[in-house]
């Protein structure tokens, strides 16, 4: 065999990747795109939750109905409405006016009995359809006002007081007093401001307005960017796309898990920063968990989709590997195989 022929054969043997597909750009670039896309996906899920659930009045009304099913919320409402009623109405004085002069001394014990029976009266009130209508209407009006304020729209006097957005439950106080047997005249004299739950004050609105403006602007853009980055990572991974699809699946699982942890941390940190009374922290936590249900659903959906993609990619990768012809390895082996010997190329059978 001549030196030229030996050199050609040596080149073929030393270049096993000749004919194998080559990636586009640096080998690490697809992985970086997957990581970046996953981070954007977590941020995008948060903006989607804010836009779809927190800024949609119908969805919030549905969430508020779910809140009434929570024992912590019902207990907090019971305590709040009872305290507000006895602060707004001088129950003892009203009973003294109703009782005969000789029985006026019973007004004090009767007032105490009424305080004890408030819990049962509130429970009956919360279970009534009439209160359900009051609760839904109050939440709808308050949420409409809150969204309008957050979007910088003019809401006039709707559910706002002293720069704060409030949940108006004055009608619920009227219903509770009627159930306890208080005179209608006394209930009509309840001063304005009782039965108001402050949802947000003016100090919180400026930062919230900026967050809403950003969320509404970037939510869909982030979704498109995430899809484009994942697709780009797979497209750039020429010769190892099955492995890159597996990476995308794992990234979706990790992103969903990160979102679940971020949801829990966000709720607990928000409660610690906003709630000023320790006894209100449990109910505030329940409200936060119910209000972020969409985030939880998005996270678990991401985990489920990621698992399906990862398992499918792993099965396909294993099949290609066992077949001996998948990926760049098969192309490398094919390129490294020397051409078959042709006896007719050397008629005399001797090497040159």
- Tell me: the pLDDT tens digits for 140-170? 888 887 787 777 665 554 444 445 667 788 8
Instruction: Give the pLDDT score at 327.
Output: 45
- pTM (predicted TM-score): 0.68
* Beta-bridge mates of residue 164: 161
Instruction: Give the pLDDT score at 163.
Output: 53
- 29's CB contacts (< 8 A; 6+ apart) are 233, 236
User: Within 10 A of 47 (CB to CB), how many other CB atoms are there?
Assistant: 21
pLDDT averaged over 10-residue windows placed end to end, the chain, 352 residues: 48 43 73 95 89 83 84 82 82 72 71 74 81 86 79 54 67 82 78 76 64 76 92 91 93 96 91 73 84 92 96 84 47 48 51 44
Strand order in the sheet with 196-200: 160-161, 164-168, 196-200
Cα separation values, 225 from 19, 36, 220, 235, Å: 33, 10, 9, 15
- Beta carbons of 149 and 160 less than 8 angstroms apart: yes
Closest to 194 measured CA to CA, from 163, 172, 164? 172
Instruction: Give the pLDDT score at 324.
Output: 44
Q: Radius of gyration (Cα) for the chain, nearest Å?
A: 35
235/223 Cα distance (integer angstroms): 18
307/253 Cα distance (integer angstroms): 7
Instruction: Give the pLDDT score at 39.
Output: 95
Instruction: Give the pLDDT score at 342.
Output: 53
Distance of CA 295 to the CA centre of its chain: 2
């Amino acid at each position: 065999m001549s030196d030229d022929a030996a050199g050609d054969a040596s080149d073929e043997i030393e270049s096993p990747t000749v004919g194998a597909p080559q990636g586009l750009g640096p080998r690490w670039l697809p992985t970086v795109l997957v990581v970046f896309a996953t981070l954007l996906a977590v941020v995008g899920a948060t903006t989607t939750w804010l836009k779809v659930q927190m800024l949609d009045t119908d969805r919030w009304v549905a969430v508020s109905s779910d809140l009434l099913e929570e024992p912590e919320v019902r207990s907090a409402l019971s305590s709040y409405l009872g305290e507000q009623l006895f602060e707004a109405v001088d129950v003892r004085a009203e009973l003294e006016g109703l009782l005969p002069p000789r029985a006026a001394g019973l007004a004090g014990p009767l007032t105490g009995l009424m305080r004890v029976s408030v819990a049962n009266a509130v429970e009956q009130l919360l279970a009534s359809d009439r209160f359900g209508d009051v609760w839904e209407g109050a939440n709808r009006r308050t949420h409409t006002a809150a969204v309008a304020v957050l979007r910088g729209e003019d809401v006039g006097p709707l559910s706002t007081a002293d720069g704060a957005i409030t949940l108006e439950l004055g009608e619920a106080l009227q219903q509770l007093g009627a159930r306890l047997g208080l005179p209608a005249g006394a209930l009509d004299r309840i001063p304005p401001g009782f039965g108001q739950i402050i949802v947000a004050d003016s100090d919180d609105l400026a930062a919230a307005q900026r967050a809403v403006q950003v969320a509404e602007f970037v939510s869909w853009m982030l979704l498109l960017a995430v899809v484009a980055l994942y697709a780009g990572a797979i497209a750039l991974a020429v010769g190892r796309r099955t492995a890159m699809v597996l990476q995308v699946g794992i990234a979706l699982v990790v992103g969903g898990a990160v979102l679940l942890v971020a949801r829990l941390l966000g709720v607990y940190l928000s409660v610690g920063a906003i709630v000023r009374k320790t006894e209100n922290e449990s109910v505030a936590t329940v409200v936060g968990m119910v209000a972020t249900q969409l985030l939880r659903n998005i996270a678990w959906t991401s985990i489920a989709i990621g698992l399906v993609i990862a398992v499918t990619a792993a099965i396909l990768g294993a099949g290609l590997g066992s077949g001996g012809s998948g990926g760049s390895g098969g192309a490398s082996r094919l390129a490294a195989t020397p051409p078959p010997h042709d006896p007719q190329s050397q008629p005399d059978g001797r090497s040159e």
